Structure 1
Amino acid sequence: MSNAFIITMVIIALVFGVFPMARFLYTNFLPYLKDGFSQDAVLKYGVATDAEIVNTVQTSSWDGGKPVYKLTFRFKTKDNELVESTIMKPLTFKEIGFLKEGYIATIKYDPAKPHKIALYDKPLILGD
């Protein structure tokens, strides 16, 4: 094999393998992982409040056979501060039908850092 062929194969591997994987890890996987740890802490120690879902976007990630969504919530803290924050959450297809723009959900937020939130309630789905 010639050196040119080996260099070409390395470049192809980088362009079509390593770079897309690194991009996926940086833009989807690491934020989702970090968000999950943050949500666990907020669920234990956070303050509950009602929040309106103002945006839902499906990501390219899946977790446990469920698509991962970015959910953006708007709520007021106990100090009457208006906050808008986003979490990433795997949702069943039934939950997707309920958790959309305009839905009022119960969340918990960290009083010291109100942008750290976690979805606290699950929508009531009859027939389950």
Structure 2
Amino acid sequence: MPVENLARSDVVTAPEDESVQDLASRMDDSHVGSVVITDGDEPTGIVTDRDLATRVLGDEMDPSETTAGDVMSEDPATIDQSDGFYKATELMSEHGIRRLPVCDDDGQLVGIITSDDLNELLADEHMQLSDVIQAQRPEY
């Protein structure tokens, strides 16, 4: 199954010069744990709620004067929208990440897929398999 069928298209984005204070507010308002930092429509970094806690609060930076560019993870791993579910899990495992921006053939951001999305898919698949097994059980 291509990740474009699983990815969320409503990605929260921001430019590198946005303050982390504004990023935190945007995450809270949007109920997300990350913001993809973009230059136009191309992802250049990602800032997670954990980055805000460890890099900003942990290093006692001023949130109103610290920008996304100061704390983002640069050159984020991305996945092509036509790649499959297993490629997404492989990339997440290989890079030790839980969020993966999804790009089109031109490298433009079109979505994001998270480990929670993948876990939800697996849970659905397990439930369907259970239903098949239950339906095939002989009655005694």
TM-score (norm: length of structure 1): 0.25
Bigger helix share: 2
Query: Which structure dedicates a bigger proportion of its chain to strand?
Result: 1
Structure showing greater radius of gyration is 1
